[in-house]
Amino acid sequence: MQSTNYFKGLLSTTNGFLNVIRNASKKTGGSTKNPVDPHGKPKHRGWKRQDGHWVTRGTILALQTKPRFFPGLNAGWGVNGTVYAITDGKVYVTCEKTDMNFRKNWIQRFYAGREGHTIYKKYFNVVPLKQHQRFRLISEN
């Protein structure tokens, strides 16, 4: 009985027409005070530890999207291109000349137009404080 009284208030007939009262189902879209930044958040990529810094195992040395920096001695290569330290030690950044094999497709993509030029790569090396004593002396003959 009570439900029929409720619907009588919502449904009323005037002049032979049925008037239906309908409430809004969604809010209206208002304006925003903080528009979305078109550039997004800064990613803070690049060198994280400089040449000569003391690092612990697992420390991130460089963040990158394209291969700009490469792991050297006691440094590792992460899945997303991160270079990190494998052991505790001092960071040394070296710039070494490389001889590229331009028959490989990925080298042609990254180094297109640089055939015949000298290409240098930056390597992150981590030298431990206490080193092993297993060096061999090689003569330069």
> What is 46-127's CATH topology?
OB fold (Dihydrolipoamide Acetyltransferase, E2P) (2.40.50)
Average pLDDT, the chain: 81
pLDDT tens-digit readout, 18-61: 666 667 676 666 666 766 777 778 888 899 999 999 999 999 99
Read off the pTM. 0.61
Confidence of residue 141 (pLDDT cuts 50, 70, 90): low
Alpha-carbon span 78 to 11, nearest angstrom: 67
The answer, yes or no, to whether residue 1 has pLDDT greater than 60, is: no
Q: Which residue has the tokens 């440094």?
A: 75
Tell me which residue of 40, 127, 32 sits closest to 88, measured CA to CA.
127
- Considering only residues 82 and 107, tell me which one the structure prediction assigns the higher pLDDT: 82
- Residue 13 CB partners (closer than 8 Å, separation 6+): 19
Residue 98 in contact with residue 119, Cβ under 8 Å?
yes
Alpha-carbon span 72 to 88, nearest angstrom: 14
Residue 65 in contact with residue 45, Cβ under 8 Å?
yes
